[in-house]
Copies of this chain bind each other. A is one copy, B any other.
């Protein structure tokens, strides 16, 4: 009798879904739209309907399903309760219980999307071979997930791994999206480095490779390309990015002494140079007993969430 697991990564725009076999090998993946109207009331029923369609298509009966894992964009407690997902319109409820009710599948595991993606990378991606990793996602914001001995560290309010909001600069006067000031996310997200580059292009006279682009079109790729070519303005951007991130990760290491950092998100697509600059600043800041950690690029891209969701069930 074949056993199947569904892995679901619920995002603000689309829901990524995957059907896996009992050993965690992917069989097929697809996406549906995230319907946010009516305070997100359609989201879980849409997911349940899509699972039923897939069951019919693949001739899978309810008893053949070992479980369903789902990552959601907000804090989730260890027992699967969502503590508000602002951008889905959700309040507090048990997403695990509700999805179980809608699908008839008893075992449903829910986790925060960043934590679930971290678990996916530890299991089958850049963190393969390590028991304990910290995943850092450098995208619109800076996300994080802490995996300890193969398990997600959830935290008592589902807010463990919120490394984007480490206060790395107590002198900052601009406000972060979270309401705080001096958060890591203000310096080391993709958004932050693009903003920093634009500011330097607009407010300085310094000659730069970046001046050939419209300022709105300067992304991480242009910045890291210019940095590799020795461009001074790009170097300022990359150095600030790395200084705060290296400092922040030194804090993370002092708390959990992880085996490896796995760097993902849009900025990580610039490859080894990103690892090199972060590691350089990490080593400058961290205490001797924590030096020499492994730094790896994430490997699963947008699939990390569905892999991690499946791993939660296994």
Interface residues of A, Cβ cutoff 8 Å to B:
75, 131-132, 146, 148, 153-163, 165-167, 170, 178-180, 183, 247, 250-259, 285-290
Contacts and interface: CB of A to CB of B under 8 A. Distances in A.
The complex is assembled from copies of this chain, and their number is 2
Contacts of A286: 167
Q: Which 4 A-B pairs have the closest CB atoms?
A: A155-B257, A165-B287, A160-B257, A251-B251
B162 A254 contact: yes
A287 B183 contact: yes
19 contacts: A153-B256, A153-B257, A154-B257, A155-B258, A157-B289, A157-B290, A159-B287, A161-B254, A162-B287, A162-B289, A165-B287, A166-B251, A167-B247, A167-B250, A180-B287, A180-B288, A251-B255, A255-B255, A255-B256
Contacts of A161: 254-255, 257
Q: Which label, helix, strand, loop or mixed, suits the secondary structure of the A interface?
A: loop
A218 B255 CA distance: 32
Given A165-B254, A167-B285, 4 more contacts: A156-B257, A166-B255, A183-B287, A252-B255
Given A162-B287, A288-B179, A170 B254 contact: no
Which among A75, A170, A289 has the greatest number of chain B C-beta atoms within 10 A? A289
Nearest to A146: B255
Nearest to A293: B156
A169 to B, nearest CB: 9
Nearest to A183: B287
Contacts of A178: 287-289
